[in-house]
């Protein structure tokens, strides 16, 4: 399970702190050294770790802890609060358009879980009473169109395809189709590549212009660690994103990407993929995630 090793390490560190009636500055510093190592081992971005430790240390050796009756627990509370802040404090909800149709443009590298996540998001919204339409904009891999159709069929969600014509034309036609047939959510499954390249970005910028999406959601694979954070930075700089969906958080990942990406890009994680099944999508709650790490 994700964060297992980080959780183990932090919980061990805090076992010593919890029992202490009185804390010295040296106790706090020793604990923070262990927290720092645990975060770095979990593949959290170095600069983020440095800032995080500084913040917690400042708060912990200030009045907040020394005057507290249970200083050990107070330190743990500070770490919990700062971890929550790191991941965005409160849950970032999906925005809906005030016009009848909300358009979500899904972007991401090949293999990140984009097509699967289009289905998961459609399923999530359908359960809320929406009428989603999935749109196959990945015209470069015929298998991708087929895959989206299979996903849509299994969820009884309609899939709009036009074969291998320009994705900009497909986007426009899909939105017209949604208006005509009463779909209030359009989910665009755009093409991915193995790496970010200029052609891909140009195409995405053109689709963005044509679709005027309510949100652009970047799908990233948590297993790729800091690469996921770099991908998020690039997509945000070149296209502008509204949020992220982090997939494969069920895997044996060290979790650093989930902890760093918000602070690095300023964009929130809105959902987490926690399995291959189309029901395995969770809303991302920073506070719950922090508590899961700290046990």
3-state secondary structure 141-201: CHHHHHHHHHHHHHHCCCEECCCCCCHHHHHHHHHHHHHHHCCCEEEEECCCCCCCCHHHH
276 binds ligand GDP (CB under 6 A): yes
* Three-class DSSP category at 43: coil
Is the Cβ of residue 44 or residue 137 nearer to ligand GDP in the bound state? 137
Is the Cβ of residue 250 or residue 287 nearer to ligand GDP in the bound state? 250
By residue count, the chain amounts to 295
Site string for ligand GDP, 115-134 (x = CB under 6 A): xx------------------
250 binds ligand GDP (CB under 6 A): yes
- Considering only the stretches 170-178, 228-236, 257-265, 268-276, report the one whose residues sit in contact with ligand GDP under the rule CB under 6 A: 268-276
Stated as kind and residue range, the H or E segment containing 218 is strand 215-221
What count of other Cβ atoms lies within 10 Å of the Cβ of residue 46? 12
142 binds ligand GDP (CB under 6 A): no
273 binds ligand GDP (CB under 6 A): yes
248 binds ligand GDP (CB under 6 A): yes
Laid out side by side, the sheet with 269-273 consists of 159-160, 132-136, 185-189, 102-107, 215-221, 243-247, 269-273, 281-283
Q: Which of 5, 110, 179, 226 binds ligand GDP (CB under 6 A)?
A: 110
Q: Which of 247, 253, 260, 265 binds ligand GDP (CB under 6 A)?
A: 247
Stated as kind and residue range, the H or E segment containing 136 is strand 132-136
274 binds ligand GDP (CB under 6 A): yes
84 binds ligand GDP (CB under 6 A): no
255 binds ligand GDP (CB under 6 A): no
Q: Which residues are annotated as a binding site for GTP?
A: 108-115, 189-193, 247-250
Those residues whose C-beta lies under 8 Å from the C-beta of residue 154, and which sit 6 or more positions away, are 119, 278
108 binds ligand GDP (CB under 6 A): yes
Q: Which of 275, 283, 288, 292 binds ligand GDP (CB under 6 A)?
A: 275
Alpha helices per DSSP H over the chain: 4-19, 25-41, 46-60, 63-66, 71-86, 114-127, 142-155, 167-181, 198-211, 226-238, 256-265, 286-294
Phi, psi of 156 (to 5 degrees): 55, 45
How far is it, in rounded angstroms, from Cα 163 to Cα 143? 11
Is the Cβ of residue 52 or residue 160 nearer to ligand GDP in the bound state? 160
Is the Cβ of residue 116 or residue 265 nearer to ligand GDP in the bound state? 116
- Considering only the stretches 125-133, 194-202, 242-250, 255-263, report the one whose residues sit in contact with ligand GDP under the rule CB under 6 A: 242-250
Q: Which of 100, 111, 142, 182 binds ligand GDP (CB under 6 A)?
A: 111
């Amino acid at each position: 399970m994700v964060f297992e090793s980080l959780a183990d390490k932090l919980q061990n560190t805090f076992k010593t702190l919890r029992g202490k009636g009185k804390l010295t500055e040296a106790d706090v510093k020793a604990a923070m050294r262990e927290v720092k190592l645990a975060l770095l081992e979990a593949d959290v971005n170095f600069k983020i770790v440095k800032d995080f430790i500084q913040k917690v240390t400042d708060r912990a050796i200030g009045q907040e802890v020394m005057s507290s009756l249970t200083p050990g627990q107070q330190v743990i509370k500070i770490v919990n609060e700062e971890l929550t802040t790191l991941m965005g404090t409160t849950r970032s909800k999906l925005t809906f358009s005030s016009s009848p149709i909300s358009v979500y443009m899904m972007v991401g590298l090949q293999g990140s879980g984009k097509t699967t996540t289009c289905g998961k998001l459609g399923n999530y919204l359908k359960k809320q009473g929406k009428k989603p339409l999935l749109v196959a904009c990945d015209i470069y891999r015929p298998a991708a169109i087929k895959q989206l159709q299979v996903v849509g069929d299994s969820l009884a969600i309609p899939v709009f395809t036009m074969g291998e014509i320009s994705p900009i034309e497909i986007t426009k036609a899909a939105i017209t189709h949604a208006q005509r047939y009463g779909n209030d959510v359009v989910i665009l499954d755009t093409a991915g590549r193995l790496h970010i390249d200029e052609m891909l970005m140009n195409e995405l910028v053109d689709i963005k212009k044509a679709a005027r999406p309510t949100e652009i959601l970047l799908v990233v694979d948590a297993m790729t660690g800091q690469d996921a954070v770099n991908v998020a930075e690039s997509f945000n700089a070149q296209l502008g994103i509204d949020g992220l969906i982090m997939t494969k958080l069920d895997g044996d990942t060290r979790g650093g990407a989930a902890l760093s990406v918000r602070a690095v890009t300023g964009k929130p994680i809105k959902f987490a993929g926690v399995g291959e099944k189309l029901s395995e999508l969770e809303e991302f709650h920073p506070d719950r995630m922090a508590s899961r790490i700290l046990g």
